[in-house]
Amino acid sequence: MVRPTVPEADREIGIRHPVLGHGFVALVDYMGEDAAIVQAARVSYGRGTKSVRDDRGLIRYLLRHRHTTPFEMVELKFLVRLPIFVARQWIRHRSASVNEYSARYSIVPDEFEVPPPDEVRHQSQHNRQGRGGPLDPAVVERFRSDLERVARDAYTVYSGALEAGVARETARLVLPVAYYTQWYWKVDLWNLFHFLSLRLDPHAQEEIRLYAAEVAKLGRLVCPVAFEAFEDFVLSGLSLGRREQRAIRSLLAGATPEAACKAAGLPLAREDGKPMTSGEGVEFLQKLARLRGEGSPGDEA
Ligand SMILES: Cc1cc2nc3c(=O)[nH]c(=O)nc-3n(C[C@H](O)[C@H](O)[C@H](O)COP(=O)(O)OP(=O)(O)OC[C@H]3O[C@@H](n4cnc5c(N)ncnc54)[C@H](O)[C@@H]3O)c2cc1C
């Protein structure tokens, strides 16, 4: 028997796709493809399904109805080089296997991330975790040169400590989170979708979103049908809570969005009358804007 493969994915194995200043994502290996999802599902649904649904239809049905385990039959392994501050966000996804470069065992290379000028922006006014509008160019340049100086000084101290005999596991304490690490990351397709749904989202930090986009491009080569379903139903999907459905019913009956929110108990103003900038009502209006095709649902994060 020959192992199932996908020529488009095989051509990408080992190719490093650059991300940020010194990072990359490479597909190292994979097990299974769209057919593996179908094969697993037919074990539970039996042969009968074949006659009523083609493979694409079955994959889309499974995804819509959150029948998740067939997607776990596909595994993908990546090699990723990333700054430590991105790695700290990425590692929170517990349902993957990781093997990281050991800074106890090996010397950390002198590579650190300095964001490009247009990525050094104001603290967001709406999102406490995000960045917002542009800054004075002088502030941007001072920050970038300060970061570069601090990183270079830290590496000088690190190298000096190693030369003086300090253990690598201790000397590394001086290095900032802008320094790079590297790991193998193996994940099944369902948990990859979960990772991507969180890390492609406009609320995720820009840097991890760039990595997620490269991971998604490579994953799509392995399972194009499953990825199309994921994009249709999860990434571009829209969930409506009970109050939001109530507001939609009011809208369909002719109410204005503000009146519909009021009737449904979706607040748009604070007690002092000032308009709210976040919360259920604001998010509902953002969903309406999306339905009207008026841009992304995110704020300026
Ligand atoms: C925009 C954004 C902002 C964030 N901000 C913060 C922050 O300020 N502070 C912070 O600490 N984290 C923050 N996080 C991290 C976030 O809380 C999650 O830890 C991270 O996104 C991983 O998600 P997960 O647990 O669903 O994924 P995984 O760890 O991959 O888990 C996948 C799923 O498995 C299940 N699961 C796994 N382990 C357990 C368990 N022990 N118990 C129960 N169920 C489990 C859950 O259903 C989970 O959704 C942020 C994440 C995002 C995307």
Q: Count the neighbouring beta carbons within 10 Å of the beta carbon of residue 295.
A: 9
Phi, psi dihedral angles at 180 (to 5 degrees):
-95, 150
> What's the 196 CA to ligand 1 centre distance in angstroms?
12
pLDDT band at 297 (very low <50, low <70, confident <90, very high): very low
Determine the distance separating the centroid of ligand 1 and the alpha carbon of 92, expressed in angstroms: 6
* Listed residue (78, 1, 69) closest to 37, CA to CA: 69
Give the model's confidence band at 46: pLDDT under 50 very low, under 70 low, under 90 confident, else very high: low
In 49-190, at which residue ranges do the beta strands (DSSP E only) sit?
75-83, 96-100, 121-123, 131-134, 180-188
75 C-alpha to center of ligand 1: Å? Answer: 20
Is residue 279 left, alpha or beta, with left meaning phi > 0 and alpha meaning psi from -120 to 50?
left
Task: Indicate if ligand 1 lies below 6 Å from the C-beta of 203.
Answer: yes
pLDDT at 271: 85
**Hey, which of 192, 198, 278, 299 would you mutate to test ligand 1's pocket, going by the most ligand atoms within 8 Å of its Cβ?**
198
What per-residue confidence (pLDDT) applies to 138? Answer: 94
- Residue with more model confidence, 14 or 50: 14
Neighbours of 262 (CB within 10 A): 17
Q: Is 95 in the pocket of ligand 1 (CB under 6 A)?
A: yes
In short, whether 198's Cβ falls inside 6 Å of ligand 1 is yes
Query: What residues are labeled active site?
Result: 199
92 lines ligand 1 (CB under 6 A): yes
pTM: 0.92
128 Cβ inside 6 Å of ligand 1 = no
Evaluate: CB of 209 within 6 angstroms of ligand 1. Answer: no
Q: Provide the mean pLDDT of the chain.
A: 92
Going from the Cα of 94 to the center of ligand 1, the distance in angstroms, rounded, reads 8
272 alpha carbon to ligand 1 midpoint, in Å? Answer: 35
Is 46 in a helix, a strand, or coil? coil
- Residue nearest atom 49 in ligand 1 by C-alpha distance: 194
- Render pLDDT for 173-198 as a digit per residue (tens, 0 to 9): 999 999 999 999 999 999 999 999 99
pLDDT band at 300 (very low <50, low <70, confident <90, very high): very low
pLDDT for 48 equals 52
**pLDDT, tens digit, for every residue of 193-243?**
999 999 999 899 999 999 999 999 999 999 999 999 999 999 999 999 999
Distance 93 CA to ligand 1 centre (A): 6
Predicted confidence at residue 180, as pLDDT, reads: 98
**Is the CB of residue 204 below 6 angstroms from any atom belonging to ligand 1?**
yes
CA angle 208, 214, 218 (to 5 degrees): 140
Q: Provide the pLDDT confidence category of residue 47 given band limits of 50, 70 and 90.
A: low
Report the alpha-carbon angle 147-149-153, nearest 5. 120
Look at residue 53 in the predicted model and tell me its pLDDT.
65
Choosing from 68, 85, 92 the residue with most ligand 1 atoms within 8 A of its CB, the one to mutate for a pocket test is 92
Q: Report the pLDDT averaged over residues 83-93.
A: 98
Cα–Cα distance between 25 and 218 in angstroms, integer?
A: 9
216, burial (CB in 10 Å: exposed 0-12, middle 13-18, buried 19+): buried
Q: What is the residue with the minimal CA distance to atom 8 of ligand 1? A: 129
